[in-house]
Amino acid sequence: MRRLCAVLACSFLAACGTGGHASGPSASASASPGSAASGAPAKPLHNPLPIAFPPEATLLDVSRWSQDFKSVPPSLTGIIDAPGQYAGRQVIASSSESFARTDAWLQGLAQHLPPGYHELSKRRFSMHMRDLGLDAAAFSGGGSNGILVVAIDVRHFRNKLGLVLGLLKDYAAIPSFMRAPLDKKIEAQTGLSPGELLNPRTPIGSAVAALHMVAHDATGRTAIVMFDAGKAAK
């Protein structure tokens, strides 16, 4: 498979790619009260982002994130405009609708954007993403504010990555000096480095993270990840 740097030329919980890091002091994610990842009593989740999910979607998690980008990932061009510290909110949802219907909703978002937002060029998203069961759309609100929306065909995506998902689950626990053989195996099977697969702010990385939550949702045929990004206040 062609490297997904090209696939995603235009991806949540433990990144070690060159675009940023989601573990250690440079990045963090915190669950909102009542979210699936928090210990607080369950409360109805609310989407804080200006783009609405489809009516049939069920919110699974709402959280805040922050990340220090040493460079701008190609798939986030237009959302992240320069290296630096960024922060935002992330919402994960599932839907019992087919991927085809969810993708049609995604394609129609450009016609119903909040004031001040515009769609970024789709040329950044290759057709190879569809081979994995993914589609994405990116929107800019001007300046350093943007939103990325990713739709995931859960079964297709899981089948495509296969055993790689199991390998990634324990990747962070393996000492760095012992990772080389695993890196080669994962890259040979997917065309991606583990760092790219675990990058928290790209379509592929957000999809990998969403699978864990959707696996516990009996009705989830499709997952949707939506997050915004803005320059963090100093």
Q: What is the pLDDT of residues 139-149, one digit of tens each?
A: 988 766 789 99
Fill in the DSSP letter of residue 11. -
32 close to 64: Cβ distance less than 8 angstroms? yes
- The arithmetic mean of pLDDT across residues 73-101, rounded, is 87
- The arithmetic mean of pLDDT across residues 187-194, rounded, is 80
Alpha helices in 63-192 (DSSP H): 99-108, 128-131, 154-161, 164-169, 180-190
| Residue 103 CA to its chain's centroid (Å) | 16
Quick: pLDDT tens for 165-179.
888 878 888 888 889
Quick: pLDDT tens for 17-34.
333 333 333 345 555 555
Q: Calculate ∠ Cα 199-221-51, nearest 5°.
A: 65
pTM over 0.85: no
Query: Can you give the pLDDT at residue 216?
Result: 61
Query: Can you give the pLDDT at residue 68?
Result: 86
87 close to 155: Cβ distance less than 8 angstroms? no
- Give the pLDDT band of residue 11 (cuts 50, 70, 90): very low
- Give the pLDDT band of residue 161 (cuts 50, 70, 90): confident
Q: What are phi and psi of 134, to 5 degrees?
A: -125, 155
b/e burial code for range 201-225 (CB count within 10 A of at least 16 → b)? bbbbbbbbbbbebbeebeebbbbbb
Domain-by-domain residue ranges, the chain?
4-33+64-231
